[in-house]
Structures are given as C-alpha cells and as structure tokens.
C-alpha cells in the first residue's frame, strides 16, 4: 500500500493549509495586488450610501444654485471613484483568475509527477477514471477557491464589519434586530452545510464512476464492436449517468432549499426593518433619510454574507479536492530505490530466483499475508545468454515471475539476483534499462512511428531508429508508407496491424539494446503469417541476450535452450524440449494436447 505519514487531525489540517499556501509562492505580487484591489472595491462600496446620506441629509436641502455647483464636483468625484472601482474589479477578475490558473497548473504537474512515480500495484487498485477526475475537476475547484477565497473573504469581511459599524451608528435598536436575524442565518447555514457536504461527496464519487465507465468503454471499443455490445455499454453508461444525475438532483435540491431558506430569512429581515423603522420614524426617533440609508447598508451587509455562504460550496469542494490531491502527492510509491542503491552492472546476464514468494495486494486493507500467494517458493537459475521458456497452466504465475524481475512488484520473501546483485539493491532505472520487454498487448503512443521506436530514448538518431526497424523486419513496410517514419500511428496504434505494432515494439527494444529480454506471449495474438515474421525478429533480438519467453503455443518455444514448467507458482520440471518429452511429465502432456488438438 502507498504510505502517508501518520499525523494528528490538527497537525494534518495545519499541514494541509501550509501546503495550500505554498502554491501561492511566486504569485505573491499578484496575490497582494488582488487583495489591495479587493479592499479598494469594498471601501468604495461602503462609502457610497454614506455619501448619499450626506447629500440627502444636507446638501440637497440647500438652494438650487448650491446644488448645481456641487453637482459638478460630485460628478467628477463619482467618475474618479467608479473608474478606480472599474480598474480594481478588472484586476481582480482577470489577474485573480490567472493566479488561480497558474496554481492549478502547478498542482496538475505535481499530481502527474505523483502518478508517474507510483508503482504498478497503485494502478491495479485505482480506476483511471478516478485518477483523471482528480486531475481535472478537483484541481479546477481548488483553483476557483484559491483565487475567489481570499477576495470574497476579504471584501466580505470589510463590507460586513464596515457596514455593521455604520448600521450601529445610524440606529442601535434596528441593528439589534438585524443581529438576531443574522445569528439565525449563521446557525441555519452551518446546519445546511453539514447536509450539503455529504451530498457533494456522493456527487464526486458518482462523477468519477461516470469517467471510469467512459474510459473503460472507449478503451475497449474494439471488443464492444466485435460483440455488437453497444446496447450493453449504453445500458451500463446509462446506469452510472443516471446515478450521477440523481446525485446532482439531490445536490441541487439541497442547494435550492438552502438558498430559499436564506431568501426567506432576508425577506423577514427587510420586513422587520421597514416595520420597526417606520415605527421609530413615527415616534420621532429616526429620520426618513436614515431609514433609506439603513436599507442600502443592509444589502451591503447581507450580500457579502450571502456570497461567503454560497462560496462555502466551492470552498468545501476545494477542501475535499485538496485533501485528495495532497493524499496523492504525499503518497510514497511502494517500490523505491534502497538508500545508497547503486547502478546494476550486467556483466554476463545470469538471473537467479531464490525461494521467491509473492502475493498481489488486493488493496482491500488486508495485510499481504491475507492475500493468496501466487508465487510459492519459486527457484530458477537462468544462465547468461540462455533462452528459457516458461510454460504451464493459465494462472500458474508465469507473467508474475517475469514481472518480479524488473521490480514491477517486490517479492514478499526470497530474492531475485542479476549477476549476483539483488534487484532490490540496485536503482530501478538501471535495472529497467537492462531489461527489454515485449508483450502481447503492444502499446503505441499517439505520435509518429519514429517517435514510437525511439520511445524512452529521445536522443536516438534517425540512423539508429532505421537500423532498429531494419533488425525488427519492419523497415521495408515503413518505407512503403507515404510519410515513412513520420507516419502517425493513431491513438494506441490503431492505424497499424497487430504484427506491425508488434514489430515496432521489437524495434523499440532493439534500439534500447538491453542485456536481458522478457517476451511475454509476444506472438500469441498474431495469425500464422504475422507470427512467423515476428518470430524471426524475436529470434534475432534474443541472440546474445538472456531471454525469458512465455508462450502458449509450444511450437514457438521448442527451440529454446531450456523449458521450465511452472505450476501453482513453482517450477515443477525443467529441461530441453526433448528431455521433457522423454520424461513424460506436465510439459509432455501439454505438448501432446496441443499437438493432437492441432491435428484433430
């Protein structure tokens, strides 16, 4: 399992906040300017009703000449004030968003780095749709909160405190009444927030299910088409889409109730103020101008509170998103280089498995001991330059045996050595550089043929790429293409045949030129003709390299130097093709089954 250092909840919250603040680094100038602009906007908004109060209370009661000359100053003053407000608003809306987008971009890079760092078992446990939704929607929520948060909170705080002070100055009894309604509003909001949190969480899970469904269906589109299973896929997608819709409906119901509740409270507040204010005016305890000004300040007082309360939705999503983000970027890969690990030195290419035990971690929280062992005391010595074929029943552990060599997973006990060096004691980079893998499933990246052959070696020259293609028996085909090596292979190599993709994968390994080779059912998916061509390329690739081959078609491996039969995670017999046939054991039985099956 990935590990996160244990911390108390308070420490965890502080750490989370500190690391969130860390993403403002390098943007401080924008952050400060954003805050200054926000303060200016809040100040101007606060000043306006007070100016109006002064005018209606004093100036507008003087003669028309005095009003006319004052209006010119007033006009100039208002133009300047609103021009400044316009500039500040623009800055907050534009640069504030840019700042948020830059933070989001940095977080996206950090998250992608974390994904790249993770061991294979992490990807066994996590759905790619979920990982994608973290990269897209979570980070968007965080960036929104990062830039709107300080601005809303600060403008809101200044307007609320400023207008409350002015409201209290204008009329105390009315402000007491306002305070009571405000207290109810806050309690109401806190309760509604608790309910909404659960709805948001559910909503997030549902959208990641939709993403996973979509991912799955698009990745398996060929299987879908070949089974004419579009309706099945549609139905599965409809289910997760409807579940998402349901959760959205619940979310909007909760939000609707919440906002309607706020509107009702505001209605009650205004009614109370007008009735109480009217009564105070009738009693001669308040001026009509003051009541009008009071009403204007109420909206300055309550609008930011509403904004802040509404913002809590974004804020909550951002907190949940940032927590998930941090959990991911702080996770340590299960497989790491040992302290002081040295580079692997392959002198001859001898491989040894010593009493290896291994179980896949099911990721359900159980300890490794609870998971069924797939490799159970496997011993295997492979001589330098030898080609050894692993055969055996499906699920016996052949692919797992191979996956342990480049440390895609770590053994639970026992050890694997290359030229006497434990694979856990050397750097993963040097280990994986020494091993070339050709699998049944070839993955080509969207790009040109040349880019795909040179994958992992961006410094490869065109001559080297062509030479690798030559050795893999694919150069001739590439040269017939109008764009040659610059031909786009399409997403996952969809524009190429299985055999062509396979030979491009082989060319990749030729270019890499590793000392050790793993061929995991590299030809099983091909027809006889393609298999023959690929087989030739593989034979030339394995020359002079220690090679482990897994193949179900025994005809393709009978030329191997040795064959090891693996059953239930152990090597049960080993020898040359002839020796094993003569022994009449498991291999001989498989061979007869396939041979007779082919003749039947």
Dihedral sign (CA 467, 470, 474, 478): positive
Minimum distance from CB of 394 to ligand ATP (Å)? 3
Q: Which residues bind ligand ATP (CB under 6 A)?
A: 124, 360, 374, 392, 394-400
What lies within 8 Å, CB to CB, of 511 at 6+ separation is 453, 454, 457, 460, 464, 465, 468
Q: Which one, of 594, 597, 573, lies nearest residue 585 by Cα?
A: 573
Nearest to ligand ATP of 324, 558 (CB atom): 558
Minimum distance from CB of 395 to ligand ATP (Å)? 4
Nearest to ligand ATP of 399, 464 (CB atom): 399
Distance CA 401, CA 116 (A): 23
Nearest to ligand ATP of 208, 400 (CB atom): 400
Distance CA 303, CA 18 (A): 30
What lies within 8 Å, CB to CB, of 34 at 6+ separation is 91, 92, 95, 96, 99, 147, 150, 151
Distance CA 567, CA 382 (A): 18
Minimum distance from CB of 562 to ligand ATP (Å)? 18
Cα atoms in the 13 Å half-sphere on the side-chain side of 322 = 26
Structure tokens at 530: 């393609």
Nearest to ligand ATP of 307, 399 (CB atom): 399
Minimum distance from CB of 366 to ligand ATP (Å)? 13
Structure tokens at 174: 């009315």
Nearest to ligand ATP of 399, 576 (CB atom): 399
Nearest to ligand ATP of 46, 378 (CB atom): 378
Minimum distance from CB of 124 to ligand ATP (Å)? 4
Minimum distance from CB of 99 to ligand ATP (Å)? 42
SS3 446: coil
SS3 575: strand
Q: Where are the alpha helices (DSSP H) in 118-229?
A: 120-125, 128-133, 139-170, 172-219, 221-226
Nearest to ligand ATP of 300, 404 (CB atom): 404
Looking at the DSSP assignment, which residues form a beta bridge with residue 178? none
In this structure, are residues 272 and 181 in contact, taking their beta carbons and an 8 Å threshold? yes
Nearest to ligand ATP of 117, 553 (CB atom): 553
Phi, psi of 79 (to 5 degrees): -60, -45
Minimum distance from CB of 154 to ligand ATP (Å)? 50
Minimum distance from CB of 389 to ligand ATP (Å)? 12
Distance CA 246, CA 233 (A): 20
Question: What distances in angstroms separate CA 84 from CA 49, 88, 209, 354, 466, one per listed residue?
Answer: 17, 6, 47, 76, 64
Minimum distance from CB of 257 to ligand ATP (Å)? 45
Minimum distance from CB of 597 to ligand ATP (Å)? 16
Nearest to ligand ATP of 31, 591 (CB atom): 591
Minimum distance from CB of 398 to ligand ATP (Å)? 4
CA angle at 424 for the pair 422 and 427, rounded to the nearest 5°:
105
Distance CA 505, CA 436 (A): 10
Nearest to ligand ATP of 269, 404 (CB atom): 404
Minimum distance from CB of 120 to ligand ATP (Å)? 7
Nearest to ligand ATP of 396, 406 (CB atom): 396
Minimum distance from CB of 363 to ligand ATP (Å)? 9
Minimum distance from CB of 416 to ligand ATP (Å)? 15
Strands 516-520 and 435-439: parallel
What lies within 8 Å, CB to CB, of 89 at 6+ separation is 37, 41
Nearest to ligand ATP of 126, 241 (CB atom): 126
DSSP letters spanning 500-521:
HHHHHHHHHHHHH--SEEEEES
Nearest to ligand ATP of 391, 506 (CB atom): 391
The H-or-E segment that residue 378 falls in is strand 373-382
Q: What letter does residue 338 receive in the DSSP assignment?
A: P
Nearest to ligand ATP of 351, 550 (CB atom): 550
Strands 387-391 and 546-550: parallel
Minimum distance from CB of 420 to ligand ATP (Å)? 26
CA angle at 109 for the pair 107 and 114, rounded to the nearest 5°:
95
Q: Which one, of 544, 546, 458, 474, lies nearest residue 506 by Cα?
A: 474
Nearest to ligand ATP of 42, 518 (CB atom): 518
Distance CA 159, CA 217 (A): 51
Q: Which one, of 314, 281, 268, lies nearest residue 142 by Cα?
A: 314
Strands 516-520 and 546-550: parallel
């Amino acid at each position: 399992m990935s590990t996160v250092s244990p911390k108390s909840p308070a420490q965890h919250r502080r750490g989370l906040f500190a690391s969130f603040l860390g993403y403002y680094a390098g943007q401080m100038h924008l952050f400060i300017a954003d805050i200054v602009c926000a303060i200016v906007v809040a100040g101007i908004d606060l000043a306006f009703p007070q100016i109006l109060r002064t005018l209606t209370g004093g100036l507008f009661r003087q003669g028309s000449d005095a009003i006319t000359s004052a209006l010119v100053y007033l006009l100039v003053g208002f133009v300047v004030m609103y021009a400044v407000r316009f500039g500040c608003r623009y800055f907050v809306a534009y640069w504030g968003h840019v700042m948020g987008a830059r933070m989001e971009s940095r977080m996206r890079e950090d998250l992608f780095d974390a994904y790249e760092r993770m061991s294979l078992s992490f990807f066994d446990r996590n759905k790619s749709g979920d990982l994608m939704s973290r990269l897209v929607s979570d980070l968007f929520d965080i960036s929104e909160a990062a830039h709107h948060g300080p601005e809303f909170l600060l403008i809101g705080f200044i307007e609320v405190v400023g207008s409350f002070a002015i409201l209290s100055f204008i009329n105390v009894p009315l402000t007491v009444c306002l305070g009571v309604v405000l207290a109810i509003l806050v309690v109401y909001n806190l309760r509604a927030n608790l309910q909404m949190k659960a709805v948001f969480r559910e909503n997030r899970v549902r959208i990641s299910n939709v993403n996973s469904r979509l991912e799955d269906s698009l990745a398996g589109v060929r299987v879908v088409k070949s089974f004419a299973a579009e309706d099945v896929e549609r139905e599965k997608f409809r289910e997760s889409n409807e579940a998402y819709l349901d959760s959205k409906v619940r979310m909007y119901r909760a939000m609707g109730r919440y906002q309607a509740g706020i509107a009702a409270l505001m209605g009650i507040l205004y009614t109370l103020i007008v009735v109480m204010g009217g009564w105070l005016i009738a009693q001669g305890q308040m001026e009509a101008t003051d009541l009008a000004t009071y009403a204007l300040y109420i909206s300055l007082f309550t609008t930011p509170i509403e904004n802040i309360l509404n913002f809590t939705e974004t804020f909550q999503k951002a907190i949940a998103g940032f927590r998930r983000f941090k959990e991911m970027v702080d996770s340590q890969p299960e497989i790491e280089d040992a302290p002081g690990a040295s580079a692997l030195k392959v002198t001859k290419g001898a491989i040894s498995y010593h009493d290896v035990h291994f179980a896949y971690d099911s990721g359900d929280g159980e300890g490794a001991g609870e998971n069924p062992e797939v490799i159970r005391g496997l011993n295997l010595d492979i001589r330098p330059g030898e080609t050894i074929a692993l055969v055996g029943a499906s699920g016996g552990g052949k692919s797992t045996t191979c996956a342990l060599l480049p440390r895609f997973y770590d053994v639970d006990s026992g050890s694997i050595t290359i030229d006497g060096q434990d694979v856990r004691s050397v750097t993963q980079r040097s280990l994986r550089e020494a091993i070339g893998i050709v699998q049944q499933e070839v993955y080509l990246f969207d790009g040109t043929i040349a880019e795909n052959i040179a994958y992992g070696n961006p410094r490869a020259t065109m001559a080297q790429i062509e030479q690798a293609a030559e050795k893999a028996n694919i150069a001739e085909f590439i040269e017939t293409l109008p764009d040659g090596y610059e031909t786009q292979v399409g997403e996952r190599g969809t524009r190429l045949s299985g055999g062509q993709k396979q030979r491009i994968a082989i060319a990749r390994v030729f270019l890499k030129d590793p000392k050790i080779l793993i061929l995991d059912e590299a030809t099983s998916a091909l027809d006889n003709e393609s298999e023959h061509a690929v087989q030739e390329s593989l034979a030339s690739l394995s020359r002079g390299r220690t090679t482990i081959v897994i193949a179900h078609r025994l005809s393709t491996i009978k030329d191997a130097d040795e064959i090891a039969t693996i059953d239930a995670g152990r090597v049960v017999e080993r020898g040359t093709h002839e020796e094993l046939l003569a022994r009449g054991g498991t291999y001989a039985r498989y061979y007869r089954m396939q041979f007779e099956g082919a003749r039947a």
